[in-house]
Amino acid sequence: MAVITKITTQKNNTERYNIFLDEGKGEQYAFSVDASVLIQHDLRKGKELDEFDITEIQFVDDTKKAYNLAVSYLSHRMRSTKEVGDYLRKKDVDDVICKQVLLKLTDQRYLNDLEFAKAYVLTQMNTTVKGPTLIRKELMEKGILEQEITLSLCEYSKEQQIQTASKLIEKLKGKYKKLSETMMKQKIEQTLLTKGHVLSVIQLAFEEVDVQKESDEEWEALHYQGMKAHRRYERYDGWEYERRMKQSLYRKGFSIEQIDAFLQSIRHEE
């Protein structure tokens, strides 16, 4: 049986107390506890503790420390249950304690995966160009259940999806202006799909945004791509040069008529 010989407040944390015990070999530091654990177990000088008491006290204190870690982690922003669990395990919190803490946080409504998912969807919808498919994938990675994901994505209306996709198309038009109209549309569609927008919404967004190029814009893109190809293939002569040029520019979305006109302009420049 051990006897508590001294209790002191920690210098850097006045909410924690150092417990000193004498187990028959003189006073020694044994462990520290949170203030709430000190009160809960009525720890005081002269109280006797057996091995079971000490194990129970340390378990309760470890649970309290894990709970405090989780609350601090949650103070910065909302988190999913999985995110908090992963964080605690990275801090070497025992699985049994981790589960207890997560249950307590859920009971206290510090954790609510459906509310988290809804807030996440609204944030992504209002601050990014992501579509629902990508947001669904991210929520799955955060441990949100399929049913809760489906309910939360109801916050992202089809009208809002079209609006977001349309804004992205407007932005991408400038980025891909040196491509043919055909290739530009393909690149924009690929980018939108990568960002999680569904094809039906992309098609409706294209109807909202004019991506058709004027003839001079298409010629400017052809000239840019054509000169790049010319520098690559100018070492070839005659038929081989034309074959490679036509193949390259055709793959980039230009028509045979446009390509022939460009090649004719190159001959005139020579």
Residue 266 — very low, low, confident or very high, per pLDDT cuts 50/70/90? confident
Residue owning tokens 């990568």: 194
Q: Is the pLDDT of residue 25 over 90?
A: no
Distance CA 114, CA 109 (A): 11
Q: How far apart are alpha carbons 257 and 246 in whole angstroms?
A: 10
Q: For position 270, what pLDDT does the model report?
A: 57
Cα separations in angstroms, 257 against 216, 254, 263: 15, 8, 10
Name the phi and psi angles at 33, rounded to 5.
Answer: -140, 160
3-state secondary structure of 39: helix
pLDDT value at residue 78: 95
Is 90 exceeded by the pLDDT of residue 122? yes
How far CA 233 is from CA of 51, 257, 260, in Å, comes to: 84, 20, 16
Helix segments in 77-112, DSSP class H: 81-90, 95-107
Task: Quote the DSSP letter at residue 212.
Answer: P
At 48-95, the pLDDT tens digits run: 999 999 999 999 999 999 999 999 999 999 999 999 999 999 999 999
Task: Enumerate domains of the chain plus CATH numbers.
Answer: 1-49 (no CATH), 113-155 (1.10.10.10), 158-208 (1.10.10.10), 215-269 (1.10.10)
pTM: 0.81
Per-residue confidence band for 263, with pLDDT thresholds at 50, 70 and 90: very high
The letter for the amino acid at 93 is: V
Structure tokens at 220: 């400017």
3-state helix, strand, coil in the chain (%, to 5): 65, 10, 25
Distance CA 106, CA 98 (A): 12
Amino acid at 224: Y
23 is written with which tokens? Answer: 């187990």
Longest dimension (CA), the chain: 105
DSSP string over 132-173: HHHHHHHHHHTT--HHHHHHHGGGS-HHHHHHHHHHHHHHHH
CA distance 113 to 84: 11
Encode pLDDT of 129-169 as tens digits: 999 999 999 999 999 999 999 999 999 999 999 999 999 99
Cα–Cα distance for residue pair 45/266, rounded to 1 Å: 97
Residue 39 amino acid letter:
I
